Structure 1
């Protein structure tokens, strides 16, 4: 197949969309499919590939890690005519994604999209809930003519189905078990970060309001004293609330900033628990990665995370807006070493079945179905 991908974020950006698309393109290389990527300009030199066609961009004022692009539509149109893709995949609903949507219609190229981010949920964390209705109107309009909308979880499927989005298909995520596995040296990690406490708890992700970071601060200060003195936290990631976290941390908290996956995996593998309070995930890749490391997860019973954690089998789910649930869940698991060990064993068994290769084959099969349906419709028109 020949695939044109339109996205407002790509590697080396550190987010779920960019990482997923990066893995997808690596798989397309491996399986000899052709592709081009239309993405923001800053990615070209760092990504180092001629298959990326960068568009000028600037940081979005409210969310500087995101960029707003100004696509050169005439050049992109000529590129598409030259490349002659079998399908266009729009991964984001912003300026580059909108360009892909418009050109797919004009050039009569089969069009699919993927829905990665619960922007509506984000609004409440930035005191912008008044924008919810216009946001949904735009998202409904944006996706209405797509032959397939790929969503990462049953939760997101239900969310969009209730709003009458058409042609929805679940496309789950996978995990790279060559990186995320339980066989790292725990003593090396403990020595590297000077961890003396009995238990290691970790968090990986953007440090921002939409990740429910307030819960981490609550846990720093409110876990039972007998446990708190035996716990060391490692917080991996960066973002606008990092300073707030640092100002409210206790002595037993280490901040690493962003780390490459090869450095994240040994920390998570050495952890007794992975704590992830975000309620806004459409999937939650880091949760699956933690399970692959043999680390039980205490996470939110909300969004995509609730579809990954098997309650009492690979971790525990906590009610949204109930910080005490996290405290109780952490206490219960740490106080029962035999159960904690079994949770870890179960987690690895589950994660081993979530191969990226299978997920990408499911996506490619979806592409093929759309292409076939479009050809059939054109033939009978």
Structure 2
């Protein structure tokens, strides 16, 4: 695998981040991987390349961090990185190179893993020049927001301790966080690597007497490391005539102030400041020490404690959260809360029998065995594989369009497809979607379901906009026209009812009035409403309250509008047509009988005679083609009676035209 390690800090700097990077780099290379390091250069103008190390121009920020920080983008750097053909990017810082790493990941489509090493809210004092509580609160809030943003902008996120993971979760980082303590090449810090002569020479060069115990601190000299507490403890130990000398190894922005404090506390002969030392020399300092101390509570993993324990030095720590798996009080080390407690525990430890002190050293060595570089490599490599797999299942947001007031249409692209999905405003802000961001397949699958629901809902609203609908109509529409499940359909219908879009009682009343205007009878009204899903009992209850006189008047109006009484038909056929019309329109027999009575239909003898004569001629022509004689006469009489003419009238007509009939 071709791996790029990105960081604003790298060798020759001495700090926990560098230790983590170098340890990982060595293990990756030992297992056959090709490793590139992208970091800052001493020069603010030129890119430097040294084998697989690419250094980008940076500026030193002594006041803020003691490190160099690069620009968040470099065209030359991008081109060089493109030639590396990286399979994975592992970024270890958030700003400068850290920002650049995330840009490179997007531009070159390289999966990215981030390790969160630094608790930035512990460093806000560097920017709070006036020491304002309000400014400090604002800066801490900003640190949390930035940490959340950077923690989200990666495929996989690593925290070196549970403390760090919990803090990131508190910032609002919702993705899975892998807790992987930085492994160390423990053998590198073994005291057995140095002979007693080497260690004695170092002690002598530092002015340490034969009888003096060495209390060591290794790290960056900064306010947040609380080294002043160590000096205050030393002052107490000196007044008690405890033979201890403190050795402070490291450089940083607080070094001069700390030297001044040592002088002020009359500790010049009891504290040695070595300034910054090369990484290669640090293990010897651990090996020549008897005890190691750090009062810092800003650590994310406590690498220096592990290094000290590996060197058989007894450790004293103020930070408990990240060291609970390593330090057991009185068994593998000690905890303290203030300078008095630290001084007391150092004095008590020195006074322990040599055998007991060796038991503490041995227990410490046992506790750090799982923190070797091999388990560290295996855990990180597994995360790399996860990140590569995730990137293959990743969608990039290429377009965002506001739809109405509650929805966004988000267009996503993967290697396989392009999707335009409707996303609720709640999901849009929950997942902090923006153009150029990437979304994992499992989240896209959630978006697809949401898209289906939103489009179904909007379709339902459009369907309701055309005209009012019943619950059953909406159920039929949603089940036939959308992919929603029965449960989802019922939930949506309930939502539409709660919003007043569906109301069967309102529909019943409005439809009843509309159908009455359309001159429908009760039976047709009921049948129509039942078809729409309105319950029988509800319809009957409403119709029972209706006045029958209204329906009689509607029926008469219907007949008048249909002009059935004006048709050129005999009385019988006219009555049949009227009754048939009223039956088809849903009027019951009682209403029809009342209507027939009120219409005052009377026979018009002259009209009946004319109609009979016309029908006679018509039927005679038709039937004479098939019948003759008596059969023709019988068929003619039967047909005319069936046409609604009275028997006597038909016989009279037939007899009156007997001669004509017999001719045919």
Structure 1 residue 172 corresponds to structure 2 residue 181:
yes
Is the contact between residue 5 and residue 35 of structure 2 (CA under 8 Å) also seen in structure 1? Answer: yes
Determine the structure 1 residue equivalent to 2:254.
Answer: 241
Determine the structure 2 residue equivalent to 1:38.
Answer: 38
Determine the structure 2 residue equivalent to 1:122.
Answer: 123
Is the contact between residue 211 and residue 277 of structure 1 (CA under 8 Å) also seen in structure 2? Answer: yes
Count of aligned positions: 377
Of the candidates 310, 313, 322, which is equivalent to residue 295 of structure 1? 313
Determine the structure 2 residue equivalent to 1:74.
Answer: 75
Structure 1 residue 208 corresponds to structure 2 residue 222:
yes
Structure 1 residue 103: Cα displacement: 2.7
Determine the structure 2 residue equivalent to 1:101.
Answer: 102
Is the contact between residue 171 and residue 362 of structure 1 (CA under 8 Å) also seen in structure 2? Answer: yes
Is the contact between residue 315 and residue 343 of structure 1 (CA under 8 Å) also seen in structure 2? Answer: yes
Determine the structure 1 residue equivalent to 2:206.
Answer: 193
Of the candidates 217, 222, 230, which is equivalent to residue 231 of structure 2? 217
The whole-number CA distance in structure 2 between the counterparts of 1:269 and 1:83 is 39
Is the contact between residue 182 and residue 294 of structure 1 (CA under 8 Å) also seen in structure 2? Answer: yes
Structure 1 residue 241: Cα displacement: 2.4
Determine the structure 1 residue equivalent to 2:190.
Answer: 181
The whole-number CA distance in structure 2 between the counterparts of 1:19 and 1:272 is 22
Secondary structure in 2 matching 1:162: helix
Is the contact between residue 296 and residue 319 of structure 2 (CA under 8 Å) also seen in structure 1? Answer: no
Is the contact between residue 5 and residue 91 of structure 2 (CA under 8 Å) also seen in structure 1? Answer: yes
Structure 1 residue 304: Cα displacement: 2.9
Greater gyration radius: 2
| Structure-2 change in CA distance of 1:48 and 1:15 (3 Å) | farther
Structure 1 residue 237: Cα displacement: 1.4
- Bigger share in helix: 2
Q: Which segment is superposed worse, 183-192 or 296-305? A: 183-192
The whole-number CA distance in structure 2 between the counterparts of 1:203 and 1:343 is 19
Is the contact between residue 211 and residue 280 of structure 1 (CA under 8 Å) also seen in structure 2? Answer: yes
| Structure-2 change in CA distance of 1:190 and 1:134 (3 Å) | closer
Of the candidates 337, 341, 365, which is equivalent to residue 382 of structure 2? 365
| Structure-2 change in CA distance of 1:108 and 1:48 (3 Å) | closer
Structure 2 residue ranges without an equivalent (≥5): 395-413, 418-664
The whole-number CA distance in structure 1 between the counterparts of 2:183 and 2:230 is 27
The whole-number CA distance in structure 1 between the counterparts of 2:234 and 2:37 is 42
Pairing 1:123-142 to 2, within 5 Å after superposition: 123-124=124-125, 127=131, 129=136, 130-142=138-150
Is the contact between residue 291 and residue 348 of structure 1 (CA under 8 Å) also seen in structure 2? Answer: yes
| Structure-2 change in CA distance of 1:227 and 1:342 (3 Å) | farther
Higher relative contact order (CA 8 A, sep 6+): 1
Determine the structure 2 residue equivalent to 1:274.
Answer: 292
Determine the structure 2 residue equivalent to 1:147.
Answer: 155
| Structure-2 change in CA distance of 1:336 and 1:280 (3 Å) | same
Is the contact between residue 276 and residue 300 of structure 1 (CA under 8 Å) also seen in structure 2? Answer: yes
The whole-number CA distance in structure 1 between the counterparts of 2:377 and 2:157 is 15
| Structure-2 change in CA distance of 1:349 and 1:305 (3 Å) | closer
Q: Which segment is superposed worse, 180-189 or 3-12? A: 180-189
Secondary structure in 2 matching 1:63: coil
Is the contact between residue 277 and residue 300 of structure 1 (CA under 8 Å) also seen in structure 2? Answer: yes
Structure 1 residue 169: Cα displacement: 0.5
Structure 1 residue 261: Cα displacement: 4.2
Secondary structure in 2 matching 1:14: coil
The whole-number CA distance in structure 2 between the counterparts of 1:170 and 1:190 is 38
Structure 1 residue 324 corresponds to structure 2 residue 325:
no
Secondary structure in 1 matching 2:322: helix
Determine the structure 2 residue equivalent to 1:340.
Answer: 357
TM-score by length of 2: 0.53
The whole-number CA distance in structure 1 between the counterparts of 2:82 and 2:286 is 46
| Structure-2 change in CA distance of 1:339 and 1:124 (3 Å) | farther
Structure 1 residue 188: Cα displacement: 4.3
| Structure-2 change in CA distance of 1:67 and 1:270 (3 Å) | closer
The whole-number CA distance in structure 2 between the counterparts of 1:373 and 1:207 is 40
Secondary structure in 1 matching 2:293: strand
